[in-house]
Structure 1
Amino acid sequence: MRAVLVLYFKYFLLWDDDFATTIYHTFVALCYLTPILGAIIADSWLGKFKTIVYLSIVYALGQVVMAVSAIHDITDTNRDGTPDNMTLHVALSMLGLILIALGTGGIKPCVAAFGGDQFQDDQEKQRSTFFSIFYLSINAGSLLSTLITPILRAQECGIYTKQECYPLAFGVPAALMVVSLLVFIVGSGMYNKTAPQGNIMVKVCKCIAFAISNRFRHRSSVYPKRHHWMDWAEERYDKLLIAQVKMVLKVLFLYIPLPMFWALFDQQGSRWTLQATTMNGNFGLLTIMPDQMQTVNPILILVLVPVVDSIVYPLIAKCRINFTPLKRMNVGMFLAGLAFVAAALVQLQIDKTLPTFPSSTEGQVKFINMINEKVNFTAGDNGISLDAFTASEDYLTFDEPFHLNLGPGANYPISVPDGTRNTIIIVQDAVVYGHINFKDFAAKPDKGANAIRFLNGFHSALNVTLGEEQFGNIVNNNMSQYVNVSQGLAKFQIKNDVGDVCMYEQTLGFGSSFTMVIPSTFAFGPNCADTIRPIMDISPNSVHMALQIPQYFFMTAGEVVFSVTGLEFSYSQAPSNMKSVLQAGWLLTVAVGNIIVLIVAEAATLEDQWAEYLLFASLLVFVCIVFSFMAYFYKYIDPTKIEAQFTQLDPEEKEKRKSLEMTRKESHGGGRKGSDSSSDNEKVKQTRI
C-alpha cells in the first residue's frame, strides 16, 4: 500500500510534494511507534495469538476504509473529474491510515515471535530455517506488491468519471489481508499458544524508574556510593534483573544515532518516488511507472544478502580485518549517505532539463504565427520574425506590461498575469494583424503524462478525439482544452461537421506539453496529417529512471550491512529474556528516523531538492563520525556469562536484601506490598524470540 501512498496524496487528494511527504513519514513513524503497544498487549493480557487476530481485524478494516476513501464517486465531482468535497476523502484517508498503523504496528512484534514459539528447544535448526523463509517471504511480498499495486493503481475505474483506480490498489491488499487472517484462524488448533506471563518491558521500566527515584531520594543522605546508577534499584529488585537492565541500556545507548539512517532509508517511498515522476521510464520492452522503481530495493536485497554473507564477509575475514558488527553498521550508514549524494547528482541532471518557469512576479509569452505568410513584429524590446504556422523558439519573460507591435495600426498593449505562461497567436482580421491570448501550462504535467491541446486555424470547426478522450469542438482560431495523454504512440482523430476524418499520430514521451497546430492550409485526404505542426511547449523528461539504480544500490547495500547486522548485534548483546525489549527499541529508531525527516524538511525550507538530499547526506556522515567514537569505546559482552554470575545468590546476599527491604518499608510507612521480582529467578530462564 505504501508503494502508491505518496502518489495518492499528491494526485488524488491534491496535496503538494512537501505536505504529501510530511503525512507519509508521519504515517510510517506511527507504524513503528505502535509495536510497543502491541508487545505490551500480547505479553500482559491477550497473548500473541489473540493479539494478532484482533489487531489484524483492525488492520484489514483500515485497508477497507482506505479503499472507500479513494472512491471519487462518493462525492460530487468537478468537470475535470476531481472530487468536489475533499473533506470526506481526507477524513476517511486519515482514519484508514490510523487503523492501519495500529494494526501493522500491533502485530509487528508478535508475528515472528509467534512463529518461533512453534518450535521446541531442540529444534533450533528448524527455527532458523523458519526465520530465513520468513525474511525471504517479506522481501518476496515487497517485490510482488511494488510491481502489482502500481499496475492496479494505473487502471481506470469509476461510475460517472474515469480516474486512476486507487480503490483497487487499496482494496486488493484489504481482501488479501482478510484471506490471510482467515487462513491464520483456521489453523488455530494446530498452534502452540503460550499464555501471557507479564510484560518484561513494563518490569524494565519500573526498575529504571525506581533506581532514578531512589537515587534522587537519597541524594543528600550518607549512603555508600554505587558503581552504577542502576545499582540504586537493589533495595527492591534482584541483582540479576539489574544486571540485565544494564546490558539493555548499554545497547540502547548505541541506538541513539541510528534513527538518522532510517530518515534517509524511508525516503525511497516519498522523495525518490516523486523524483521518478520527472524522469523517463521507457526501458524498451517495458515501461516502468514511478512507484514501481521501488522494486529495485527488494530485488537487490534478494541478491545482496547471500552475496554479502557468503562472499564479502568471508573475504574480509581472510584478509584478517577485524570487521566487527558496529563497524559494519557504520559502513552501512556511510553507504546510505552515498546513496543520497547519488540522488542529488541525479536531481541536478533533472533540473538542467526542466524549463524555466515564471516566478510569482513575472509572466511568460510564446508567439505562434497563424497567418500563411512571414510576419515580423516586436514584443517590448524583442524583435521577432516568424514564418507561416511556426512558433517562437522559447517563452519570453516579462516583469511588466509591454507593447506588441504587429505593424501599422496594430500596436497593442499586453499585460500577462504574474506566474503564468501564455501563448499569443497572430491572426489577420481583414488587412490588420491582430492577436488572441491563451493560457498555457506553467508546470510539468503530473504523473509523467503529456499535456496536449489543438489549435484550429482551419476555416471550419473541427472535433478532435483520442479514444474516449474528447478535445471538444474547436472553432476557427481557437484552442482546445488540455488533455493528459500517456506515453507512447497517440492516435488522434480529427473530424469535421460533414463527417470527413483525418488520423494524426504522434509518439509521446513523459512529462511534455504540445500545442498541435492545424493550419489554414489543412485539407482532408490521404496526406492530411502531414500539414499538422506540433509545437513543443514543455520538453519531455529526458533523464532516464535507470540513473536511479546506483542510489538504490548504495541504499540497499547499506540496508543489508546495517539492518541485518544491527539485529544480529542486538540479539547477541541482549539478555536472554529481554530480546523483545531491544526489538521494540530497534523499531523505535525507525519511527524516530521518520520524525527526523519531518523536522529537517520543515526546518530547512530549501528550494532546491538536490540541496535537501545533500543536507541529509551530510547529517548522516556526521552521525557516522559520532557513532564510530561510540563504537570505539564499546566493549562486547557475553550476556550468558554475566547472567550466570547472578542466577543464584548466596544466603548472606538474600538476607541483606531482605533486611534492606524491611528497613525501606519501615521508613516509608510500609510502602507497597510485594515485590515485582518475586519470581524473577524462575522467569529469567525463559528465552524470548
Structure 2
Amino acid sequence: MNSKKRRVTGCGYPISIFFIVVNEFCERFSYYGMRAVLVLYFKYFLRWDDDLATSFYHTFVAFCYLTPILGAIVADSWLGKFKTIIYLSIVYAIGQVAMAVSAIHDITDSNRDGTPDNLTFHVALSMVGLLLIALGTGGIKPCVAAFGGDQFGDTQEKQRRTFFSVFYLCINGGSLLSTIITPILRAQECGIHSKSKCYSLAFGVPAALMVVALVVFIMGSGMYYKAKPEGNIMLKVSKCIGFAIKNRYKHRSSQYPKREHWMDWAEEKYDKLLIAQIKISLRVLFLYIPLPMFWTLFDQKGSRWTLQATTMNGHFGSIVIQPDQMQTINPILILTLVPIMDSLIYPLIRKCGLNFTPLKKMTVGMILAALAFVCAAMVQLQIDKTLPIFPSASQSQLKLLNMENNQLEVHLPNNFTDLLLPAAQASDIQNKKLAFQQETLRRPKIISLPDGTRNTIVIVEQGPAFGYITIDDLTSKPEEGNNAIRFVNGLATDINVSAPAADFGVIESFYMSIYSLLKTGTKTIFTKNNVKQSCEYSRDFGFGSSYTFFIPSTFVFGPNCQESVTEVENIGPNTVHMALQIPQYFFITVGEVMFSVTGLEFSYSQAPSNMKAVLQAGWLLTVAVGNFIVLIVAELAKFPKQWAEYFLFASLLVVVCVIFSIMAYFYTYIDPAKIEAQFKKKVDEEEEEEESKLEMNAWPEIHATRSSGKQLKRGGRLKKSTF
C-alpha cells in the first residue's frame, strides 16, 4: 500500500476514517433498532404466533450472517470494498424503507383485532424488505472494517489499533441507543384514522439513519484510499480443496502411494505454501463445528426473551420499561465488562497461576450461556404460576355475573355444588365441560357452552322474568402488556364511558361494552348518563390484566360513585418483575465476552497471514447455523411449556460444551507466522537444491555441446584453410 495517498490530520489519523466511523454508528443503529422490535412486529402486527414469529426472526438473522461471504467475494474479486459498500448500502436502505412502509395501514380498513385486511401485502412487503436488509447488512459487514484499516499506512499501526477500538465502540454505542429509542417509538400511538402501535415509526427512523449512513460515507469519497480488488482468497482456497478431493478420489486405487495429509493431493496444481496454510486453517475450522450451539442460545435474547418480557411487570420506580428495551442490558454490560475482564479478571487469574487459554475461556463462556437459559427457565416457571388457567380444547370456563337485585339459586349438573349467587356479584366455574341449568322461582334457563371457550354470562332483570347475555372472554393475556377493560351497564338508562386513549362509547341498558386496551399507569374513567350526571374516578393498572367493571342498578352518580362500582378481575396483572431477567442477561453477556471476543482473537492469532478472511467467514457461518437450529427446534419441538424448551437448549449446550472441551484438550497452539517462515525457507531450499540438481544433471550435455561447438568451429576453420 502506498501511504502517500492517504490524507492525514495533524494528529496522524486519516480524515477519511471520520466518515467510516459515523457510517458504522448509523448503520448499526439502523440494524439493531429494526431488529429490536422485529419479533413484536411479527406477533402483534402480522398476528403470528410465538413459534412462527421466533422462526422468521432467526431465519432473518441467519441470512444476515450468510451474506457476508457473498459480500467478501464481490468486494475482493470484482468491485472493490468502496463500490461494494455503496451499492449494498443502497440495497440496505431500500429494504429499511420497505419495512417502514409495510407497517403502515389504515386502521379503518382493519379487522376487529387491528389486523390489516390486506395482510398478504404487508407480509410480502416485509419479507422483501428483510431480504434486502440481510443482503445489505451482511454484504457490507466484512468490507467496512477492512476498508477502514486500508486507510492507514504501514507506519500507522498504533493509529490503526485505536481505530478498531473506536469502531467496536461505535457498534455497541449504536446498538445501545437504538434498543432504547426504537421500542419507545414503537410504543407510541399513531394511525391514519385511529390509534395503533407505531411500528412504521420504529422502522422509519432506522431507515432514515441508514440513508444518513450512506450519505456520510459518500461524502468522504474523495478522501478514501481505495485498494484495487486483488482476487478473493476464499475462492482460491475453495478451488484448492476441491481439487485435492477430486484428485484423491481420482487416484484412490492402491497403486498410488499414500500421502501424509489429504490436502497433499493438491500439490500437482497448487503451491505447497498455500496447501500448508489451508492445513493450518482447517485445524481451526474443525474446532468451529460445535460453536453454532452457543449462538442458538445467544440470539434468542431478541426473540424468546423479548416475548417472555411481554408477560412481566416493567415498572422500575417511576420509569416503565418496554419488553424490547430489556435488550439494552446486553450492550451496556458489553461496554462495561470488556475492559473489566481485560484489565482485572484475566490478570487476576494469571496471577493465581492458572493457564486460562483462549479455548478454556470459550468453554467457560458456553457454560455461562447455558446457565443463562437455566435462569430464563426458572423465571418462566414463576411467570407460569401467575398466568390464569385457560380451558383446553375439551373444556370450557364460565363466569356468572348476577345483575339482579335478588339472590339467584343456580343448579349445576355433573355433581357440581349448587350455587347461591348473591346480587351484583360474580362467581367462577372453571375447568369443566358443562351444560348448566339455572332455576329460580320464576323460570329455569338452560345454557350450553362451546368447548375451549371462556364465557361471562350476565343475568339481567327483564320485568317479572330474567334474561341473560353470553359474552366471550379473553383466552389469552392482553397483548404487549396492555390492560383489557370493559363495562357492564346495569342501569335502566344508557351511559357513556371513556378513559384516556379509550372510548367505550354508548353502553345500552343491561348490556356490555367491547374490550378496550389501556396502558399501564393511573387512568381516569369518566361515566355519564343521558341527563348529564357524571362520575369520575381513577384506577391504577399494571401490565397484562383484564377487568369487567359492573355498574349496578343501585349506582349513584357523584363524588363517591366509585364505591358502588363492582370490579371483576378476569385475568390478573403481570406480577413477575422484568428485573428477574437481569441475571440471565448478565450470564449471557459474560458468556459472550468470554466466547465471542476470545474466539475472534483466537481465530486471528491461529490463522495464516492470508487466511484470516477465510476464518472470519467461517466464524460468521457458525452464527448463521446457530440461528437455523433455533428455527428447527421452534418448528419441530412444539413444547407445551416454554420453560421446558429453555431447559432443552441449556442441556444441549452443556453436551456440546463437553464435546468442545475434549476437542480443545487435543488442540496444539501454533504460531502460523513462524510455520510460514519455516515453510518458505524450506521451499526455497528445496527449490535451490532442485535447481542445483538440474544443473548437475544438465552439465555433461552442456559440456558435450560446448565441445562439439568448438570442434565445429575448428572444423570450419580447417575447411576454410583447405579451400
Regarding TM over 0.5, the answer is: yes
Question: Residue 248 of structure 2 aligns with which residue?
Answer: 215
Say yes or no: does 1:194 pair with 2:255: no
Aligned sequence identity (%): 69
Say yes or no: does 1:609 pair with 2:638: no
Question: Residue 253 of structure 1 aligns with which residue?
Answer: 286
Question: Residue 403 of structure 1 aligns with which residue?
Answer: 437
2:388 alignment partner, one of 336, 347, 355: 355
Say yes or no: does 1:378 pair with 2:411: yes
Deviates more, 1:514-523 or 1:498-507: 498-507
1:232-251 CA distances to partner (integer Å, 9 max, x unpaired)?
11111111100100011110
Say yes or no: does 1:303 pair with 2:332: no
Say yes or no: does 1:435 pair with 2:463: no
Higher gyration radius (CA): 2
1:3-44 CA distances to partner (integer Å, 9 max, x unpaired)?
000000000011111100010000000000000000000000
- Give the Cα–Cα distance (whole angstroms) in 1 for the partners of residues 112 and 477 of structure 2: 21
Say yes or no: does 1:40 pair with 2:45: no
- Give the Cα–Cα distance (whole angstroms) in 1 for the partners of residues 636 and 430 of structure 2: 35
Q: Is this contact kept in 2: 1:304–1:557, CA < 8 A?
A: yes
Say yes or no: does 1:119 pair with 2:152: yes
- Go from structure 1 to structure 2 and tell me whether the alpha carbon gap of 1:468 and 1:280 turns closer, same or farther (over 3 Å shift): closer
Q: Is this contact kept in 2: 1:472–1:481, CA < 8 A?
A: no
Alignment of 1:562-577 (within 5 A): 562-577=595-610
* Residue type at the aligned position of 1:555: I
Deviating beyond 6 angstroms after TM superposition, the runs of 4 or more aligned structure 1 residues are 654-657
Offset at residue 425 of structure 1 (A):
1.9
- Give the Cα–Cα distance (whole angstroms) in 2 for the partners of residues 22 and 80 of structure 1: 23
Alignment TM-score, normalising by the size of structure 1: 0.93
- Give the Cα–Cα distance (whole angstroms) in 1 for the partners of residues 613 and 302 of structure 2: 28
Deviates more, 1:260-269 or 1:154-163: 154-163
Alignment gaps of 5+ in structure 1: 660-689
* Residue type at the aligned position of 1:357: F
1:314-340 CA distances to partner (integer Å, 9 max, x unpaired)?
110001001110000000000000000
- Give the Cα–Cα distance (whole angstroms) in 2 for the partners of residues 475 and 65 of structure 1: 44
- Go from structure 1 to structure 2 and tell me whether the alpha carbon gap of 1:573 and 1:4 turns closer, same or farther (over 3 Å shift): same
Alignment TM-score, normalising by the size of structure 2: 0.89
Q: Is this contact kept in 2: 1:273–1:293, CA < 8 A?
A: yes
In structure 1, the residue corresponding to 2:471 is in which secondary structure? strand
Alignment of 1:190-589 (within 5 A): 190-380=223-413, 381-392=416-427, 394-405=428-439, 407-589=440-622
Q: Is this contact kept in 2: 1:81–1:162, CA < 8 A?
A: no
- Give the Cα–Cα distance (whole angstroms) in 2 for the partners of residues 3 and 91 of structure 1: 20
In structure 2, the residue corresponding to 1:261 is in which secondary structure? helix
Question: Residue 4 of structure 2 aligns with which residue?
Answer: none
- Give the Cα–Cα distance (whole angstroms) in 1 for the partners of residues 122 and 548 of structure 2: 34
Deviates more, 1:494-503 or 1:138-147: 494-503
1:144-203 CA distances to partner (integer Å, 9 max, x unpaired)?
000000111111122122211111111111111111111111111111111100000000
* Residue type at the aligned position of 2:527: I
Question: Residue 70 of structure 1 aligns with which residue?
Answer: 103
In structure 1, the residue corresponding to 2:47 is in which secondary structure? coil
- Go from structure 1 to structure 2 and tell me whether the alpha carbon gap of 1:146 and 1:598 turns closer, same or farther (over 3 Å shift): same
1:600 alignment partner, one of 630, 633, 638: 633
- Go from structure 1 to structure 2 and tell me whether the alpha carbon gap of 1:74 and 1:216 turns closer, same or farther (over 3 Å shift): farther
- Give the Cα–Cα distance (whole angstroms) in 1 for the partners of residues 170 and 607 of structure 2: 26
* Residue type at the aligned position of 1:540: P
* Residue type at the aligned position of 2:417: N
- Give the Cα–Cα distance (whole angstroms) in 2 for the partners of residues 601 and 125 of structure 1: 46
Deviates more, 1:524-533 or 1:638-647: 524-533
Question: Residue 105 of structure 1 aligns with which residue?
Answer: 138
- Give the Cα–Cα distance (whole angstroms) in 2 for the partners of residues 423 and 75 of structure 1: 28
- Give the Cα–Cα distance (whole angstroms) in 2 for the partners of residues 647 and 122 of structure 1: 25
Offset at residue 424 of structure 1 (A):
1.3
Q: Is this contact kept in 1: 2:500–2:523, CA < 8 A?
A: no
Deviates more, 1:223-232 or 1:394-403: 394-403
* Residue type at the aligned position of 1:344: A
- Give the Cα–Cα distance (whole angstroms) in 2 for the partners of residues 651 and 636 of structure 1: 26
Question: Residue 216 of structure 2 aligns with which residue?
Answer: 183
* Residue type at the aligned position of 1:282: H
* Residue type at the aligned position of 1:421: R
* Residue type at the aligned position of 2:329: V
* Residue type at the aligned position of 2:456: T
Question: Residue 195 of structure 2 aligns with which residue?
Answer: 162
Deviates more, 1:178-187 or 1:527-536: 527-536
Alignment of 1:15-26 (within 5 A): 15-26=48-59
Q: Is this contact kept in 1: 2:364–2:594, CA < 8 A?
A: yes
1:46-75 CA distances to partner (integer Å, 9 max, x unpaired)?
111111111001000100010011101399
Offset at residue 213 of structure 1 (A):
0.7
Q: Is this contact kept in 2: 1:75–1:84, CA < 8 A?
A: no
* Residue type at the aligned position of 2:425: T
Q: Is this contact kept in 1: 2:92–2:137, CA < 8 A?
A: yes
- Give the Cα–Cα distance (whole angstroms) in 2 for the partners of residues 74 and 360 of structure 1: 32
* Residue type at the aligned position of 2:447: I
Q: Is this contact kept in 1: 2:368–2:587, CA < 8 A?
A: yes
Say yes or no: does 1:635 pair with 2:672: no
Deviates more, 1:48-57 or 1:521-530: 521-530
RMSD of aligned Cα (Å): 1.8
- Give the Cα–Cα distance (whole angstroms) in 2 for the partners of residues 266 and 79 of structure 1: 34
Question: Residue 57 of structure 1 aligns with which residue?
Answer: 90
* Residue type at the aligned position of 1:35: P
- Give the Cα–Cα distance (whole angstroms) in 1 for the partners of residues 645 and 113 of structure 2: 34
1:606-647 CA distances to partner (integer Å, 9 max, x unpaired)?
111000000000000000000000000001110001111232
Q: Is this contact kept in 2: 1:75–1:85, CA < 8 A?
A: no
- Give the Cα–Cα distance (whole angstroms) in 2 for the partners of residues 301 and 540 of structure 1: 33
Question: Residue 15 of structure 2 aligns with which residue?
Answer: none
Offset at residue 417 of structure 1 (A):
1.3
Alignment gaps of 5+ in structure 2: 1-33, 694-723
In structure 2, the residue corresponding to 1:2 is in which secondary structure? helix
Offset at residue 348 of structure 1 (A):
0.3
- Give the Cα–Cα distance (whole angstroms) in 1 for the partners of residues 516 and 690 of structure 2: 84
1:203-223 CA distances to partner (integer Å, 9 max, x unpaired)?
000110111111111111522
2:684 alignment partner, one of 647, 650, 675: 650
- Give the Cα–Cα distance (whole angstroms) in 2 for the partners of residues 74 and 288 of structure 1: 26
1:394-435 CA distances to partner (integer Å, 9 max, x unpaired)?
342331422223x23432222111111111122333344443
- Give the Cα–Cα distance (whole angstroms) in 2 for the partners of residues 539 and 382 of structure 1: 26
Q: Is this contact kept in 2: 1:281–1:545, CA < 8 A?
A: yes
Deviates more, 1:473-482 or 1:215-224: 215-224
* Residue type at the aligned position of 1:390: Q
- Give the Cα–Cα distance (whole angstroms) in 2 for the partners of residues 241 and 470 of structure 1: 73
- Give the Cα–Cα distance (whole angstroms) in 1 for the partners of residues 685 and 293 of structure 2: 48
- Go from structure 1 to structure 2 and tell me whether the alpha carbon gap of 1:605 and 1:214 turns closer, same or farther (over 3 Å shift): same
- Give the Cα–Cα distance (whole angstroms) in 1 for the partners of residues 236 and 689 of structure 2: 23
Deviates more, 1:457-466 or 1:33-42: 457-466
- Give the Cα–Cα distance (whole angstroms) in 1 for the partners of residues 565 and 638 of structure 2: 45
Count residues with an aligned counterpart.
Answer: 658
In structure 2, the residue corresponding to 1:398 is in which secondary structure? coil
* Residue type at the aligned position of 1:443: S
